[in-house]
Amino acid sequence: MTLSIQRVPGSFAAEVFGVDLRRTLGVDEIARIEAALDRHAVLVFRDQRISDEQQIKFTLRFGAIENAAGGNVTKPYQRRLDMRINDVSNLDEHNAPLARDDRRRMFNLGNRLWHSDSSYRVVPARYSLLSARELPDAGGNTEFADM
């Protein structure tokens, strides 16, 4: 596969083709992806069936990962995922839907509002790498702004 990057018409984003995020990417591939991030701000990698560990490994190629514990109401024993992954889900630690009045559910509802990931931190996040495991048939879209 040969990595290629194509701008998404009518947006500032681009789509990346010819890359399998399950494997360790070479230095040149990472450099091209990073240059594309600098140019387009948002990159889309479609149909990547990656595990949490594969996502962590890919993310580490761009620098240290921010710990997901900051500003979260989920207790350590309630976590479903590694601390290097922010779990924005409606499921509890047993993979059952959160109760309507569960604080974790209420906290996650804030993600529906306009926000900029980690922009409030002394050293804001350089990138946010999102990966959906299960998507609804309609809705659930994520919007981006190039600030």
pLDDT digits (tens, 9 = 90+) for 66-80: 887 666 678 888 888
Which pTM does this prediction carry? 0.85
Q: What's the rounded Cα separation, in Å, for the pair 5 and 3?
A: 7
Single-letter amino acid code for the residue at 80: R
CA distances from 55 to 58, 89, 91, 101, 139 (A): 5, 17, 20, 31, 24
Helices (H) and strands (E) in the chain, counts: 3, 3
Which is nearest to 72 in space by CA: 60, 64, 62, 80?
80
pLDDT digits (tens, 9 = 90+) for 88-136: 888 999 999 999 999 889 888 888 888 888 888 888 888 989 888 888 8
